[in-house]
Amino acid sequence: MAEQTIDITSMPRGGPHASCLDRLLRTDRLEYLDRDDADDPDLARRKRSVIRALDWTGQVFGNHGRFAAIALDAVADVADPKILELGAGHGGLSRLLLDWHPTAQVTVTDVDADSVEAIAAGELGSHRRAQIRRIDATAIDAPDGSFDLAVFALSFHHLGPDAAAQVIAEGTRVAHILLIIDLPRPPAPLHLLRLATMLPWAPLVPFVHDGVISSLRAYSPSALRALARHAGPDIDVELRGGCLGPQIMVARRIGS
């Protein structure tokens, strides 16, 4: 009962009952990807570097393929699925969804105008089954039930608790299934060990800098459950993975 009435705004990323050590593993510092400093060419360069690294690692280590397989499995029973990708960034996941499913229609979106422009200028911009749009995942401009699946991969941790709960509410409103794939939040001692290996490189490599912050901002499974409860009492969630590999949340409205 206590979890149902928690203050989401002040909830730690480790969840309502996070340990004291876990509560210390947090930061208010922004990733390069979260910053929008006007007329800062160095920041723009660092952001592009992080986005390229995310796309490269997704291809080399197979994350794009794993995530695409998870997404397509969620709509395996739908003949011509309509898929919404939120926070697409570089569009790598959407490219595979279109390549692997011959009739899927994919709406590729991001809140960042530069990312949307870059995606539109690439191969997705001319793909006949793709639509490129700038969309805020906390306020999706689409009618209820417009999509069979909404997928939000490796971006959920960028959001504070209020915004994260709103994404769950909006994603389950516009799509029959909301699939969130994000970074794991390991147990605090293991988390400390992982951070120790990353911190020396953070000042030198923009991708590692953002990775450290992302790790500190990742939500635990208990936090994800609390966010879903806050988003709506009729939202059912299934959680998978999340110890060392990506954690997966499948959310849907009961009865939809």
Domain CATH for 89: 3.40.50.150
Q: Can you say whether residue 26 is alpha, beta or left, with left for phi > 0 and alpha for psi between -120 and 50 degrees?
A: beta
- pLDDT band of residue 37 (cuts 50, 70, 90) is confident
Read off the pLDDT of each residue in 77-104 and give the average, rounded to a whole number: 97
Confidence of residue 211 (pLDDT cuts 50, 70, 90): very high
pLDDT of residue 23: 96
**Mean pLDDT of the residues in the chain:** 93
Q: Are 164 and 156 in contact (CB under 8 A)?
A: yes
pLDDT at 2 over 70: no
Residue 130: beta bridge partners? Answer: 106
Give yes or no for a contact between 252 and 178, defined as CB atoms under 8 angstroms apart. yes
With a threshold of 0.85, does the pTM exceed it? yes
Distances (CA, A) of 36 to 40, 121, 132: 9, 21, 21
Neighbour-count burial for 210-247, b at 16+ CB within 10 Å, e otherwise: bbbbbbbbbbbbbbbbbbbbbbbeebebebeebeeebb
For residue 234, pLDDT over 60 is answered with yes
* Minimum mean pLDDT range among 40-54, 58-72, 123-137: 40-54
Instruction: Give residue 255's pLDDT band: very low, low, confident or very high (50, 70, 90).
Output: confident
- Please report which confidence band the pLDDT of residue 38 belongs to, taking 50, 70 and 90 as the band edges: low
Number of domains in the chain: 1
Q: What is the DSSP letter of 29?
A: P
Please compute the mean of the pLDDT values over residues 53-77 and round it to a whole number. Answer: 95
256 falls in which pLDDT band (50, 70, 90)?
low
Q: pLDDT grade, residue 127 (50/70/90)?
A: very high
What mean pLDDT do residues 3-19 have? 84
Owner of token pair 């690692």: 57
pLDDT value at residue 7: 83
- pLDDT higher than threshold 70 for residue 3: no
Asked if pLDDT for residue 107 goes beyond 80, the answer is yes
Mean pLDDT across 201-208: 95
| Helix, strand, coil % in the chain, rounded to nearest 5 | 50, 20, 35
- Tell whether the model's pLDDT for residue 114 goes beyond 60: yes
Range of the domain at 191: 3-253
* pLDDT-derived band at 92, boundaries 50, 70, 90: very high
- CA 117 to CA 2: how far, in whole Å? 45
The predicted model gives 15-37 an average pLDDT of 93
Q: What percent of the chain has pLDDT over 70?
A: 97
Distance (Å, rounded) from C-alpha 65 to C-alpha 51? 17
The pLDDT confidence band at residue 245, using thresholds 50, 70 and 90, is confident
